[in-house]
Homo-oligomer: A and B are copies of this chain.
Amino acid sequence: MFKKVLIANRGEIALRINRACHELGVATVAIFSEADRQSLHVRHADEAFCVGPGPVMRSYLNIPNIISAALISGCDAIHPGYGFLAENARFAEIASDHGLTFIGPTPAVISAMGDKATAKRLMAEAGVPTTPGSDIVANVDEARTVSAAIGYPVLLKATAGGGGKGMRAVHAPEELATAFATAQAESEASFKDGRLYVEKLIVNPRHIEVQVLADEHGGVVHLGERDCSLQKPSHQKLIEEAPAPHLDDALRERLHTIATTATRAVGYTNAGTLEFLVTGGDLYFMEMNTRIQVEHPVTELIYGVDLVKEQIRIAAGEALGFTQDDLNTHGHAIEVRVNAEDPNNNFAPAAGTLTTVVFPGGPGVRVDTHVYGGATVPPFYDSMLAKIVAVGRTRESAIVRMERALAETRIEGVKTTVDFCADVLADPEFRAGGVGVAWLPAFLARRTAAV
């Protein structure tokens, strides 16, 4: 096991990793920007280094300063969390070059999965169903030929993409040229890589992802699926649950089998998530996230497995302490993201000081947060303040528990997503379960119209 781990992140996930390290008896080093000096993730770590000013380019993405902090403090490993440098193969490589274990898969796998077109090709080769589509298209003419073959509507996607950037839906041939130019420009601006590929546009699919763990000795297990179909119009997830409701048993098993097969095929190690679009009885591989996900707690609560501890154990060379047969689930879990955002104004992020902070407690409720009464929300970072997770014996009991948890939550000083999420939970269609990714934007539009 490692002696000391540098946590290359901030916020709730930095605290989450700090908890896992401390429970494993591993010392921790936090990094922080000048804007985060008062943050809980700094307070709870054994050591902490300021790595730069508030803006992420100069602090949380500042590779030399972060690696330097790890070396100076005598760390033997780095946990990247999610976001920031978590899927940066170059960062993993530099860490490795300096004798630091990167807690995640190998740089080669990060790199292959990070390039969406490559990932799709590799998965197809491993027998994983992928959305009908092309490899990288050189220009708009090639895109037109391919789109005609696939049949409209299609999606233009950036191979370096993520978070919906460099992505455009095209419903008819005459829209293609403009969409191509826009997507290419956006991708170039966001990722310094303007390469695009074409994919069949699946209308209102469900977003279902499978959690896997793979050790460095050939051990691979899945920890079931999560339904992340409740996404804001920006495609950011807002409410997640596990298991996915109303999923045909055969389809569920197929998802799990495909995930473990693919994990083995690409030589994956550590924790990872394969994202699928599911529509009717069909599933299509979308992408593989080579890191811990924000929504990992819903899986932890029903499997009783600490995924972050497993990440660290795997990176330290340990074999998984369980096989697929040892894993079973209890009940249903649901997560709500409490963001400092205004749901009545396009989820515009809000910064400020939290005057009141009261989180829920009691049975079946887990809160992961880095904020507290009096904390400031800096303007530089992700707007997530907390994850509230509820577990119950059934989906309905988990939802009811979440409703009472949200009713107990009081955050003042900034606008949050708490009340909006409570409205979602109360909606009969959500309650029935199994909605697609188009549901939440439609709900939002209905709600806005009603106000």
For A361, give the chain B residue with the smallest CB separation: B367
Once the chains bind, are B373 and A16 in contact (CB under 8 Å)?
no
Q: Is the CB of A363 within 8 A of B306?
A: yes
Please give the number of chain A residues whose Cβ is less than 8 angstroms from any Cβ of chain B in the complex: 38
When C-beta atoms are compared, the residue in chain B nearest to A372 turns out to be: B358
How far apart sit A80 and B357, CA to CA, in the bound complex (Å)?
29
12 pairs from A and B in contact (CB 8 Å cutoff): A19-B404, A22-B404, A23-B401, A44-B408, A304-B330, A304-B331, A357-B373, A361-B366, A361-B367, A362-B368, A363-B366, A365-B366
Quick check: A40 and B358 within 8 Å, CB to CB? yes
Contacts of A365 in B (CB 8 A): 366
Having A23-B404, A361-B366, one finds 7 other A-B pairs with CB under 8 Å, namely: A15-B361, A15-B362, A44-B407, A297-B363, A306-B364, A361-B368, A361-B369
Which residues on B sit within 8 Å (CB–CB) of A357?
373
A140 at the interface (CB under 8 A from B): no
The answer to the question of A359 belonging to the interface, with a C-beta cut-off of 8 Å to chain B, is yes
Query: For A132, what are the chain B residues with a Cβ–Cβ distance below 8 Å?
Result: none
Which B residues lie within 8 Å of A364 (CB)?
306
- A19 cross-chain contacts in B, Cβ below 8 A: 362-363, 404, 408
A400 on the B face (CB < 8 A):
yes
Within 8 Å CB of A304, what residues of B?
A: 330-331, 393
- Minimum CB–CB distance from A267 to chain B (whole Å) comes to 29
Residue ID in chain B nearest A360 by CB atoms: B19
| Complex Cα–Cα for A53 and B393 (A) | 41
Contact for A22 among B23, B297, B359, B407, CB less than 8 A: B407
Chain B residues with CB under 8 Å of A62's CB are: none
Across the interface, which residues of B come within 8 angstroms of A22, CB to CB?
400, 403-404, 407
The answer to whether A257 has its CB under 8 Å from any CB of chain B is no
Q: Tell me which residues across on chain B come within 8 A of A369, comparing CB atoms.
A: 361
Q: Chain B nearest CB: distance from A11 CB in Å?
A: 13
A372 to B409 CA separation, bound complex (whole angstroms)? 11
10 tightest A-B contacts by CB?
A373-B373, A361-B367, A22-B404, A19-B362, A358-B372, A23-B400, A361-B368, A306-B363, A23-B401, A362-B368
**Complex contacts, A359 vs chain B, CB 8 Å:** 359, 361
Q: A397 vs B306: C-alpha distance in the bound complex, in angstroms?
A: 12
